[in-house]
Amino acid sequence: MVVNVEIDPAVLAAAAGQTAIITGAAGGIGAATAALFSQHGANVVIADLAGARAAANKLIPTLAHPDKAIFVPVDILNWADMQNLFREAVAKFGRVDVVVANAGIMETSPVLNMDAVDADGNLLESREAFKVLDVNIKGTLNTIRLGIHTMRQNEKKDGQLVAGSIVLVASTSGYFGGTSVAGYITSKHGVVGLLRSCRATATQYGIRINAVAPFFTPTHITASYADAWKAAGLESNTPTDVASVIAQQALNTEVTGTCVLACGKIRRELETTRAALVTQWMGEDVTTLMAEAGKLFAKLGGYPLPKKREE
């Protein structure tokens, strides 16, 4: 079962007048996404590290509507910074309609390098891998939580139930990932897990949550092998290609809980396809068991959480 996704210009036109917060927006895919939203008349909040201020200040004058764009310095792992980001957006533009959780990093040295030892031959702790997990999972969770909290307070437009939209930037590494880039691959599987686990709560408040899983895109993360990829003649994205899929996911009110693999001309929906293949994958008995378990949890009002252990 293959579900192709087409970019609908009419859907992108719906950005006009909406306010979008985009994390990691001073460069790469984030900057392209900011430019696309601005091109279609949206207010844009460019959220990035304080050190990216110069890049953001260079980006804003190039936008279609620079007067409708602001830069807010933020570390997505810093809760006070994140609270300030959403407050600034509401103070400037009145409300937030779209949140794009784009900020993410990759390790610069192999997490599983067994030669990373100290003078006594003891394996060194992989602190960089921990930072990748923190930024890509914890930072994304911070973005989701504050996105839901802020947008659930929106007055519904034209009587619509949709209060807002969140798009997570995952990766094809969140579904596949056999390249041994352990920190990044694990973190992007975590982002896909956040998509699935946060959908019910987001829907409860009239908020759609979807994701995009870009394949190769020429950014800082892929710079070390970009020439080899191009020489091999493999399909690839531009940051604008990915931005158009992000915008489509953000603005298409017909979808929620979906994730689109984006690779140039190839755009495939992954989550509904996976769900449709569960029986073939796991068997009728497991499919039935999972469905019945879902009904039980719904009857119980959600998954019953354990009590804290006494310390």
What's the pLDDT score for residue 222? 76
Can you give the pTM of this predicted structure?
Answer: 0.93
Partners of residue 266 on adjacent β-strands: 263
Whether 182 is in a domain gets the answer yes
Q: Based on the fold, state whether residues 23 and 81 are members of the same structural domain.
A: yes
CATH number of the structural domain spanning residue 167: 3.40.50.720
Give the dihedral sign, CA 93/63/66/69.
positive
- Residue 184 known to be catalytic: yes
Residue 137 lies in a domain: yes
Q: Within this chain, do residues 311 and 223 fall inside the same structural domain, yes or no?
A: no
Q: Which residues of the chain have pLDDT under 70?
A: 157-162
* Domain membership flag for residue 3: no
pLDDT at 160: 61
Per-residue pLDDT at 232: 83
Q: Which of 175, 184, 225, 303 is catalytic?
A: 184
Same domain, 41 and 98: yes
Question: What is the pLDDT at residue 159?
Answer: 59
Question: What pLDDT shows up at residue 189?
Answer: 97
Are residues 286 and 266 located together in one domain of the fold? no
User: Are 241 and 224 in a shared domain?
Assistant: yes
As for how many domains the chain has, the answer is: 2
**Do 272 and 283 reside in the same domain of the chain?**
no
- 240 and 306 assigned to the same domain: no
- Shared domain for 256 and 310, answered yes or no, is no
pLDDT score at 217: 80
Do residues 261 and 308 share a domain? Answer: no
Convert the pLDDT of each residue in 86-139 to its tens digit.
999 999 999 999 999 999 999 999 999 999 999 999 999 999 999 999 999 999
Domain that holds residue 298: 278-311
Whether residue 165 is found in the same domain as residue 304: no
User: φ and ψ at 150, to 5 degrees?
Assistant: -75, -45
Residue 118 lies in a domain: yes
Predicted local confidence at residue 283, as pLDDT:
96
